[in-house]
């Protein structure tokens, strides 16, 4: 989309990635403050919901909107990913931290790689449009919200820094 349709130059694509990365730092800073004020259930719910809504900004993706969309995307993606990492850390038993991190990153990388393959197949073979993929991405992200109420209370009902509740 960036190079084929919108004809972004390589330096402009790099600038968009830089903007997204810098905004990710802001998202991390906001999460660092918010995780001490809100429970993990609240942080995950808000992060996933805003991520799904933020994905819809790509329906308006163009040269003049790209910097703002990448900035917003970097901020909310970092928030969402930190909330998921926070959940994984809380769910991993003591002494198995490296295994827990490896499993989490494997699942994340599988999902990211798989979505690239499926998205490419949908565009190339099934003739989906870019807006169709945006809606699919936003919808599948929002579906995750269905599972949050079923997450164990021991993981989800405390703020960062609070002692764990009894199981």
pLDDT in tens, the chain (167 residues): 899 889 999 999 999 999 999 999 999 999 999 999 999 999 999 999 999 999 999 999 999 999 999 999 999 999 999 999 999 888 899 899 899 889 999 999 999 999 999 999 999 999 999 999 999 999 999 999 999 999 999 889 988 888 776 65
- Residue 25's pLDDT is 97
Largest alpha-carbon pair distance within the chain? 56
- Residue 97's pLDDT is 87
Q: Are 30 and 75 in contact (CB under 8 A)?
A: yes
Closest-CA residue to 145 (of 48, 55, 72): 48
- Residue 32's pLDDT is 95
- Residue 158's pLDDT is 85
Q: Are 30 and 77 in contact (CB under 8 A)?
A: no
Q: Which two tokens stand for residue 38?
A: 């809100």
Helix (H, G, I), strand (E, B), or coil: what is residue 145?
A: helix
- Rounded to whole angstroms, the Cα distance separating 21 from 15 reads 10
- Rounded to whole angstroms, the Cα distance separating 66 from 57 reads 9
């Amino acid at each position: 989309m960036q190079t084929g349709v919108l004809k972004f130059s390589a330096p402009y694509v790099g600038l968009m990635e830089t903007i997204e990365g810098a905004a990710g730092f802001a998202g991390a800073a906001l999460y660092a403050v918010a995780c001490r004020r809100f429970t993990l259930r609240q942080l995950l719910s808000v992060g996933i919901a805003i991520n799904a809504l933020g994905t819809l900004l790509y329906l308006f993706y163009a040269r003049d909107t790209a910097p703002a969309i990448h900035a917003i995307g970097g901020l909310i993606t970092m928030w969402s990913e930190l909330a998921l990492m926070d959940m994984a850390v809380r769910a991993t038993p003591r002494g198995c931290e490296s295994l827990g991190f490896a499993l989490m990153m494997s699942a994340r990388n599988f999902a990211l790689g798989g979505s690239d393959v499926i998205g490419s197949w949908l565009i190339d073979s099934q003739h989906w449009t870019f807006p169709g993929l945006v809606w699919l991405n936003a919808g599948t992200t929002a579906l995750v919200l269905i599972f949050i109420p079923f997450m164990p209370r021991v993981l989800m009902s405390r703020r960062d820094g609070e002692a764990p509740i009894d199981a």
